[in-house]
């Protein structure tokens, strides 16, 4: 089975979905390490409860983005991962980091990319009067939230929705599509080739299906 390292900054509900998926029969991956840039987040408790090695690597202890990312690369490499999964890891990564893990770095972003890169995606979708919203799993490249999309899920936006309502609706979908894409990756079914994601030999539309 493939070795997975998960990076988090918060509650880790996606981490939990991945841990749970890994426990199912014949799942092709296992979470071998969890790293958080923030102390005392619930995601660390989830790792602890699942007996998965976990650690805090605080960016506050480093004086530059580059030096933090180098420390992060070293910490991740210690787990000898086949795949690095960003699951609510709320930091912009340097080119050196991204290149080091090129082709084996996945992110989940709460919008229908290429729409709403960056933060506050739920409120922005509401403010724009969008009728639908969603979530994207993509390979990470140097372009922030710009790497090739592998899979998206859509949800409706209802008239009275708050950003929190949308976030919960999105979370339900995240917990399905992230373990699914990770399964594909660990089985060798999805790979990054150049700037494209290729699933079962077929190139996917680079910027998503939305």
Tell me which residues are annotated as active site. Answer: 109
Residue whose CB is less far from ligand GAR, 81 or 134: 134
User: What is d(CA 78, CA 30) in angstroms, rounded to the nearest whole number?
Assistant: 15
* 108 in contact with ligand GAR (CB under 6 A): yes
What is d(CA 179, CA 152) in angstroms, rounded to the nearest whole number? 13
Judged by CB, which is closer to ligand GAR: 42, or 198? Answer: 42
* Interface size with ligand GAR, residues (CB under 6 A): 15
State in angstroms the smallest separation of the CB of 15 from ligand GAR: 6
Closer residue to ligand GAR (CB): 156 or 188: 156
Q: Name the closest residue to ligand GAR (Cβ).
A: 88
> Is 14 marked as binding a ligand?
yes
Contacts of 70 by beta carbon, 8 Å cutoff, 6+ apart: 96, 97
188 annotated to bind ligand: no
**Residues forming the site for ligand GAR (CB under 6 A):** 8, 10-14, 43, 87-88, 90, 108-110, 171, 174
């Amino acid at each position: 089975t493939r070795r997975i390292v998960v990076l988090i900054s918060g509650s880790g509900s996606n981490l939990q979905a991945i841990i749970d998926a890994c426990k199912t029969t014949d799942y092709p991956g296992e979470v071998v390490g969890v790293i958080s840039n923030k102390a005392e987040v619930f995601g660390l408790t989830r790792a602890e409860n699942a007996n998965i090695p976990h650690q805090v690597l605080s960016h506050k202890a480093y004086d530059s983005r580059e030096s933090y990312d180098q420390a992060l690369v070293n910490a991740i490499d210690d787990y000898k991962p086949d795949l690095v999964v960003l699951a609510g890891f709320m930091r912009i990564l340097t080119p050196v980091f991204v290149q080091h893990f090129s082709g084996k770095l996945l992110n989940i972003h709460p919008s229908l990319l290429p729409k709403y890169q960056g933060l506050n995606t739920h409120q922005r979708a509401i403010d724009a009067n969008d009728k639908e919203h969603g979530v994207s799993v993509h390979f990470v490249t140097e372009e922030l939230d710009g790497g090739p999309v592998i899979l998206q899920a859509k949800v409706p936006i209802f008239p009275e929705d708050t950003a929190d309502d949308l976030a919960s609706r999105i979370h339900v979908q995240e917990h399905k599509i992230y373990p699914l894409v990770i399964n594909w990756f660990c089985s060798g079914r999805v790979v990054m080739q150049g700037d494209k994601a290729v699933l079962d030999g077929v190139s996917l539309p680079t910027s998503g299906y939305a």
